[in-house]
């Protein structure tokens, strides 16, 4: 089984949907069994979504950090 450290390194690829299928299953198995990594991947996904949204707001408006805080709060 994958180690947590290995999963952390592969998580980004996993969220992209890239990488071999066998690896995806290993990651899914690990996530099914490991609460910490589930949380880690969930946070990583959220961060990536936020980064995508923020980069869609170009040109960067004033008060962008306030906007990020607002988005973060709305997700909890």
| Contact residues: Zn ion, CB under 5 A | 4, 34, 37
Q: How far is the CB of 47 from Zn ion (least distance, A)?
A: 18
H-state helical runs in the chain? 4-16, 21-33, 35-55, 64-75
Q: How far is the CB of 65 from Zn ion (least distance, A)?
A: 32
Q: Which is nearer to Zn ion, 39 or 53 (CB)?
A: 39
Inter-residue contact 40 to 34 (CB < 8 Å): no
Q: Which is nearer to Zn ion, 34 or 50 (CB)?
A: 34
């Amino acid at each position: 089984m994958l180690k947590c450290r290995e999963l952390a390194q592969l998580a980004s690829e996993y969220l992209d949907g890239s990488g071999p299928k066998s690896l995806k299953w290993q990651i899914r198995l690990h996530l099914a069994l490991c609460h910490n990594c589930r949380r880690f991947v969930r946070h990583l996904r959220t961060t990536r979504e936020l980064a995508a949204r923020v980069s869609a707001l170009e040109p960067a408006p004033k008060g962008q950090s306030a906007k990020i805080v607002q988005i973060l709060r709305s997700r909890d």
